Amino acid sequence: MSYLRATRVASRVRFLSTKQSTSSIQEIDKYNDLPPNSRVFSMIQPTGRIHLGNYLGAVKSWRTLSNTNPDSEFIFGIADLHAFTTLKPATELKENRYQAIASLLASGLDVSKCVLYFQSAVPEHSELNWYLTCMTSMGQLNRMTQWKSKAQQSQTSSITDEKVMESTKAGLFCYPALQNADILLYRSTHVPVGDDQSQHLELCRNIAKLFNNTYGVDYFPLPKTLLTPAKKILSLKNPEKKMSKSDPVQASCVYVTDSPEQIQSKIKKATTDSIQGAWNYDPVSRPGISNLINIISGLTNESIDNTVANLHHLKDHKSLKDYVADLIVNEFDDKRQLYDELLQNKDYLEQVCKQGRDKAREMASVNIGEIKTIIGMD
């Protein structure tokens, strides 16, 4: 790729990173209260193109945080080591990794305001993972709920059950320890997550306390949870479960890269209900309608109550779906175009990844050196 073309792509990325309404800054009060000199860390798994749930649940919040808190540091990564818990062909994993980077850049992350890198490119993650795995009990890991859902086990399952043990990979069971290492490696102070990751953050704080107490130091901060403002986005076809790329019904998931026609078609087919009259938010009795309200709320940066109040002009289900589709199309239009351009320019993506890797390793190597001194491995 020519220097001129690379510069043009980088300029478009920077433009999108600042293209957001001031209302979003005012709505996210907890993010405005982020103390100066905070260090914020978060990662997303490389499942390929990001979908609406990823965007509202993580990426949009990352962009808001890094754009509105110039006195803090932001480290965002592609969790490709975590992705290895589900084995995929090498070519697919590699392509997913680059698609994830392109999706984040296209969604407005500005690499002049944050570190963006591949987790596997910083070997200190794996080294600290081993030290913290040795400090984490099997009981703590067994109580985590995510490995059970990912291993397709019931929430009452236990790793001590022989059938569960035989069908569950060790990496999947132990991956919360790697999550702890990811966060603590950079001595992070805040971690933006959705509700489903709160349990892992509590484990991280417990392990940080254990490390500090064991070695009589005050080395690791106890990272605080920043709950992302958007509600969990559910499947368009089955609003009883999360929106997911792995859903066999592709119409259930809207991607950042979908064309306007694809978005309109998917929203038109979204499961709702036959209840007429005023709109109301009720995830139990009206899960489909509530899911669409969540999407509107996340895109407009309005509270659920304000969102519902603003829907009074929509008289039927068709007009509601049309409104949702238009919002998504407008949100993703320029992002889809930039995503396509980025994927055609792997040289630029490589440049971004190497820059992020070097910045991340600069911090990680200093910290792992101090940690090894504390534990006697220097």
What are the catalytic residues?
Answer: 150, 242, 245
Look at residue 151 and give its three-state secondary structure. Answer: coil
The span from the CA of 19 to the CA of 110, in Å, is 11
The span from the CA of 34 to the CA of 226, in Å, is 9
DSSP assignment of 155-192: TT--TTSHHHHHHS-HHHHHHHHHHHHHHHHTT-SEEE
* Listed residue (315, 304, 303) closest to 282, CA to CA: 304
- DSSP lists the bridge partners of residue 51 as 255
The span from the CA of 66 to the CA of 77, in Å, is 14
Phi and psi at residue 64, in whole multiples of 5°? -60, -45
For 292-301, give one letter per residue: b (16+ CB within 10 A) or e. bbbbbbbbbb
Phi and psi at residue 115, in whole multiples of 5°? -95, 130
Contact 231, 297 (CB under 8 A): yes
**How many beta carbons lie within 10 A of that of residue 193, not counting itself?**
19
Going along the chain, which residue ranges are E strands? 39-44, 73-78, 115-118, 190-193, 224-227
The span from the CA of 316 to the CA of 326, in Å, is 16
* Listed residue (348, 333, 343) closest to 5, CA to CA: 348
**How many beta carbons lie within 10 A of that of residue 88, not counting itself?**
14
β-pairing, 73-78 with 224-227? unpaired
Look at residue 51 and give its three-state secondary structure. Answer: strand
What sign results for the dihedral spanned by CA atoms 156, 159, 161, 167? positive
